[in-house]
Structure 1
Amino acid sequence: MSIPLLSTLIFFPILGGLSLLIVPRQQTATIKIMALIVSLIEFALCAPIFLLFDKTTFAMQFVEVHPWIKALHINYALGIDGISVLFLLLTALIIVLSILVSWQSITTKVQEFFISLLLLEGAMMGVFCATDFFLFYIFWEAMLIPMFLIIGVWGGPNRIYATVKFFLFTLVGSLLMLVGVILLYQNGGHTFDILKLAGQPYSLKLQLILFWAFFAAFAVKVPMWPVHTWLPDAHTEAPAAGSVILAGVLIKMGAYGFLRFSLPILPDATREMMLPMLVLSVIAIVYGAIICLAQTDLKRLIAYSSVSHMGFVTLGMFALNQHGLEGAILQMINHGVVTGALFLAIGMVYERTHTREITAYGGLATTMPVFAGFFLLFTLAAVGLPGTNGFIGEFLILLGSFERAPWTAVVAASGLILGAWYMLWLYQRIFFNEVNEAMHGLKPLDLREILTLLPMVLLIFWIGLYPNALLGFLHVSVGHLLDQVNGLGLAGQAAPLTLALHP
C-alpha cells in the first residue's frame, strides 16, 4: 500500500498545530520548538515528492481519489503536476522561515499564533493538491481564517481595518467563484473533477461568464490592478510572518487559479480575453512601480512592488506561449523567495527600531554590516540582476510577451527600469545616508536570524545560475496546458490564436 504523501502534507501540519493545544500556554519555548519541529518535518516530507516526481509526463502524480459526497459526485481527490509541485516546496520553506522570524517578535498569545501558522500551512497545501473543484474551494476558503487571525490579532495599530478589508475583498471574490463553480458543475456533466471539466465543450458565452466569475476571485488574490488595494494595508499591518506568507505563497494562489482553472477549462474565453488581461498586466507593472517611488513606509513600498512584480506574472501567463508561461510560473517562485526575504529582513530590523519610516533610517551599512550585505543581495535579486533568480523569470516573460505583442514587452521593460530606481534608492536611503542618531547601537544579526535569511540567499543564486533545476519540472506540463488552451485536447487541431489591436 502506497503512502498517501499529499494527504500527509495537508494534514500533518494541521494535526501538528492542534497538538500544541495540549501544551500549557505559559510554556512558550516548548510551543515554539514543537511548531518548528512540525514545520521542519513537513519540509522534509516534500523531499520524496521532489525526488520521485516524473518530469516526462503531464499526468497528475501521487494521485489520491476517495468518494466523499456521492450524491453530488464530490470526491476527495488530490494530485500534482509540474505546475503545482514547486509550490509545495515553496510553501513548506516559507512556513519554516516564518516560524523562525517570529521566535522573539510574537510575545502575546504565542500558542494561538503558531497554531494559526500550521493550520494555514495545511490549507495552503490543500489548495495546490486538490483536483476536485469543491475540495479546492474548501481549502481556498479555509486558509482565509488563520490569515484573518494572524493579521487581526498580531498586526499593527490599524490591523482591524486592514483585516476587514482583506477579508471582504477575498470573500466577495470567493463567493463569485462559488457561483462559477456551481454553473460549471451544472454544465460540465455534474462533476467537480478538474480533469473532466477541462475536456467539456462549453459555449463561448458560458465560458466568458465563468471567466469573469473566476477572475473576481483570482485577480483579487494576485492582486491585479485595480483590485489590489487590500494588499498594502494587509502587508503594512501584518506581523513579519504574515507579510512573508502573503508575499511568498498567498498571492501566488490567484495566479495558480488562472493556470489550473481559467486556462485549461475555459480556453475560448482565455483567448478572447487575452488582450484585456495583457493591458491590465502592463498597467499593474508601471502603476505599481511608480507608486513605489512615493512610499515612505518600508512595508508599503515592498507591498506595492508586489503589485508590479505580479503584473509580470500575469503578463507572461496571458502571452499564452511556452516562454511566457514558464517565465510566469518561475517568477511566481522567484517572487516568493525574493519578496519573502525582503519582508523577513524588514521584520528583523523593525524588531530593533520599531519604525518602518524610511526617513528614520540611515547609515545601517555602518551599524549592521552583515544585515546590509543580505539586504543588498535581496535588492539586486528584486531588480533582476543577471546571475540572480529574478533575472531569468523576467527575461522569459519579456521574451514571451514580445512574441505575442511587442508593445507589451516595451511597456513592461519600463517597469524594470522603475524597479531598479525605487529599490536602489531605498537601499541608498537606508544604508548609505548619514547615520541617524537613533540607529546607533543596533545589535547585529544573531545566528537564528542569519540561518533564517541564508536559505533565501542560496535559492537566489541556485535558481539564478541553474534555472533548469526548476524549469525542468515545467516544460511538459506547460506544453500540455498550451495544447488545452489552443484546443488540441478537443478538436485535434489548434484554434487560431491572434491578438487583435484594432476592430
Structure 2
Amino acid sequence: MAGSFLTLMIVLPVLAAAALLVMPGDEATRAFRARWTALGTTLLLLVMGAALWAGYETSAAGFQFVERLQPFGPWLEWHLGIDGISLMLILLSVFLMPLCILAGWESVQTRVPEYLAAFLVMESLMIGTFAARDMLLFYLFFEAGLIPMFLIIGIWGGAQRIYASYKFFLYTLLGSVLMLVGMLWMVNEVGSTDIGVLSAYDFDPRAQFWLFLAFFASFAVKMPMWPVHTWLPDAHVQAPTAGSVILAGVLLKLGGYGFVRFSLPMFPDASGQLIWLVFALSMVAVVYTSLVALVQADMKKLIAYSSVAHMAFVTAGLFALNEQGIEGSLVMMLSHGLVSGALFLCVGVVYDRLHTREIDRYGGLADTMPRYAVLLLFFTMASVGLPATSGFVAEFLVLIGLYQTSTWATLVMTTGIILGAAYMLWLYRRLAYGQAAGDDTRAMPDVSAREVAILAPLVVAVLWMGIYPGSFQAPMRPAVAGIVARLDGVQLATLPTDMTIMQGSAPQTVPAGQAARRLATVEAAH
C-alpha cells in the first residue's frame, strides 16, 4: 500500500469540503450536489479504512503505514503512523461519518454545503489525531477538532445553541492549555517531539506527577469525567442529531485515547500514585450520573448522562493498569461509539416527526412504530450490556481487569450496570409501551428505508463485536502489551483496598520506580 495512504485519508475530506464551499448553482442545486458529494466522500473513506484494516498486520508490534516528513522544521514533523488502537478508532470514525451525513439528509435544509463541509473537516481532523506520531502535530489536530463541532452546534443547533457551543468550546479548550505547557516542558527536557521517544523516556517521578495532572486536565474534560462533565448534556441537547452522534461516537474517545497514548506510557509512576484519584472520580461518576439519568425528562439528556457513566468504565479500566482492564476500556470505547451513536439516531427518528425530545410526549410506539420499537429495544439492550452485544464484552473485560486491582472499585462500578439497566429500561418502557400521549404521536409513521439503512449497519457492528470480539481485539493486543510492559514495576498508591498489579499467577505489589522497567514500547515507537 502506498506510503502516503494516511495523508491521503486526511487530505481527501478537506478537499471535498473546499469543493462544497465553492460549488456553483442556486441553493437547492448546491444542497443536492453537496449531499451526494459528502456521502460519496465519506463512503470512499470507509472503503479506505477497510483497506487499512485489511493491510494491517495484527500480529506485528510497532506502528505501521508510517510517514515522516519535516516541512515545518525539526520541531513539528508530519509524522504519521498507526498501531491497533489507532486503527480501530479511525475505523470507528470513518464508519460513523456516512451515517451522520444520511442522518441530516432531510432535517438540515439551511446552509447545507457549509454544514456538510464542517463534518468533512471534522473527519479529517479525527483521523489526523489518531494517526499523529508527533506530539505537537497531535495537539494541533486534537484542538482543531473543536472548531467544526463548535460551528455545528452554534449554527445548526437548538434554541440555546449559542450558550451550549461556547460552553463546549471553553470547557474543552481551557483544559488543554495546561497540557500544552506540559508538552513544551517535555520537548525542552527530551529534545524531541516524537511520541515514541517520549514514551520510552523515564521522566523524574516528581516531574511525572505535575505532567500527569497537566495532561489529566485536558483528557478528563474531553472524556468527560465527573465533575467536569457539565458541558456534555447541554452540547448534546442543542446539537443536531448528526452532531450528537459524532460527539458521542468519536469526540468523547479523544480523552481515552490521550490517556492510552500519553498518560500511561509517559507517566507510569504518576499513573500508579494517582490511581486513587481516577478511581474515586470514576466511582462517583458511575453512581451519580446514573441516578441523574433516572430522573431526566429529555431523551438526549438521559443518553448524555449515560455516556458519562460509560466513560467512567473506560477510565476505571485503563487505570486498572493491566491487560484485561486496558483492553476492556478500548473495547468499551468502540462499543459506546456504536451504541450511543445509535441511540442518538433513534432519538432523531422520532424528533424529526414530533419535534420534541420530552419523554412524556411519546408512548405506545410498539403499536404505532413496531419496526422502530424493535431497533430501539436492540440498542437499549446493547447499552445495558446484554450478552452477544458489544457492551457485554466491554463491561466484562473491564470488571475482570479492575477486580485484579481493587475489589472495592469493582463493587462500586458494578452498580453502574444495575443502574444502567434501570434508566435504559425505564426509558424504553415510557417510549414503547402504554398509551400514546396524543393524536400526533399515534399518527407518526414507522422508520423509512433511509432510516433503516442508517441503523442496520450499527446493528450488524454491535452484534459482530459481541459475538466475535477477537476480530477487534487482535489488532490492539500488541499495543496493549507494550503499554502493560511499560507499567511493569509501578507501585500503586496505598489505599484501604487490595490494589495490586498482577504478575505471573499471583498478585503482588512491586517496588516503585523500578529502573529495569521493560521498554517494549521502544520498538513499537519506531
Give TM-score scaled by structure 2 length. Answer: 0.92
Find out whether 1:67 has 2:62 as its counterpart: no
- Residue 84 of structure 1: SS of its match in structure 2? helix
1:27-426 → structure 2 map (5 Å cutoff): 27=29, 28-70=31-73, 72-188=74-190, 190-426=191-427
C-alpha deviation, 1:67, in angstroms: 1.0
Letter in 2 for 1:500: L
CA distance in 2, matches of 1:81, 1:50: 11
- Secondary structure of the structure 1 residue equivalent to 2:200: coil
What corresponds to 2:5 in structure 1? 5
Counterparts of 1:305 and 1:145, CA distance in 2: 25
In structure 1, the gaps of 5 or more residues are 487-493
One-letter code aligned to 2:68: V
Name the counterpart of 1:491: none
Q: Cα distance 1:249–1:502, how it changes in 2: closer, same or farther (>3 A)?
A: closer
Q: Structure 2: state its 5+ residue gaps.
A: 499-526
**Residues 240-273 of structure 1: CA deviation (Å, up to 9, x unaligned):** 0100001000000001000001111111111111
- CA-to-partner distance for each residue in 1:350-378, whole Å, 9 max, x for gaps? 00010000111110111111110100000
Residue 62 of structure 1 aligns to which amino acid in structure 2? Answer: F
Is contact 1:326-1:396 (8 Å) kept? Answer: yes
The answer to whether the 8 A contact 2:317-2:329 is kept is yes
Structure 1, 319-328 or 435-444: larger mean CA deviation = 435-444
Residues 502, 476 of structure 1: CA spacing in aligned structure 2 closer, same or farther, 3 A cutoff? closer
Could you tell me how far apart the structure 2 residues matched to 1:371 and 1:115 are? 30
Superposition pairs for residues 471-490 of structure 1, below 5 Å?
Answer: 471-486=473-488
Deviation of the 1:69 alpha carbon: 2.8
1:174 shift after superposition? 1.5
| Cα distance in structure 2, aligned partners of 1:36 and 1:2 | 24
> 2:432 matched to 1:450?
no
Contact 1:285–1:311 (Cα < 8 Å) also in 2: yes
Cα distance in 2 for residues equivalent to 1:234 and 1:200: 38
**Match in the other structure for 1:17:** 17
Q: In the alignment, which residue of structure 1 is the partner of 2:507?
A: none
Q: Could you tell me which amino acid in structure 2 is paired with residue 383 of structure 1? A: V
Deviation at 1:476, TM superposition (A): 1.5
Matched-pair contact (CA < 8 Å) for 1:211–1:266? yes
Structure 1, 148-157 or 14-23: larger mean CA deviation: 14-23
Contact 1:404-1:499 within 8 A present in 2 as well: no
SS at match of 2:136: helix
Percentage of matched positions with identical amino acids:
45
Cα distance change of structure 1 residues 502 and 43 upon mapping to structure 2, 3 Å threshold: closer
Distance in 2 separating the partners of 1:303 and 1:128: 24
CA 1:365–1:208 in 2, change beyond 3 Å: closer, same or farther? Answer: same
- 1:427 counterpart = 2:442: no
- Structure 2 CA distance, aligned partners of 1:358 and 1:154? 23
Note if contact 2:268-2:490 (Cα within 8 Å) is conserved in structure 1. no
Question: How far did residue 459 of structure 1 move?
Answer: 0.8
Matched letter for residue 406 of structure 1: T
Instruction: Give the letter aligned to residue 117 of structure 2.
Output: I
Distance 2:412 2:264 in 1: 24
Partner Cα separation in structure 1 for residue 443 and residue 207 of structure 2: 63
Segment drifting more, 46-55 vs 446-455: 46-55
Q: Deviations over 1:12-63 (max 9, x none)?
A: 1111111112323511111101110000001101122101111122201100
Superposed CA deviations along residues 83-114 of structure 1, whole A, max 9, x for unmatched, are: 11101110001111000000001011111100
Read off the aligned partner of 2:4 and give its amino acid letter.
P
Contact 2:393 2:469 in 1 (8 A): yes
Q: Is the 8 A contact 2:125 2:141 kept in 1?
A: yes
State the alpha-carbon separation in 1 of the partners of residues 391 and 353 from structure 2: 29
Structural RMSD (CA)? 1.3
Secondary structure in structure 2 of the residue aligned to 1:444:
coil
Q: Does 30-39 or 269-278 show the bigger shift?
A: 269-278
SS at match of 2:85: coil
Aligned-pair distance for 1:485?
A: 2.0
Q: TM-score, normalised by structure 1?
A: 0.96
Question: What residue number does 1:489 align with?
Answer: none
Cα distance in 2 for residues equivalent to 1:502 and 1:327? 22
Question: Residues of 2 paired with 1:443 and 1:502: CA distance?
Answer: 54
Moved more, 464-473 or 324-333: 464-473
C-alpha deviation, 1:283, in angstroms: 1.1
SS of 2:170's equivalent in the other structure is helix
Q: Deviations over 1:433-481 (max 9, x none)?
A: 2122230111221111100000110011111111111111122110111
Q: What whole-Å deviation, never above 9, does each CA across 1:125-147 have from its counterpart, x for those lacking one?
A: 10000000110011112111110
Aligned mates of 1:2, 1:357 — CA distance in 2: 50
CA distance in 1, matches of 2:434, 2:313: 32
Partner SS, residue 68 of structure 2: strand
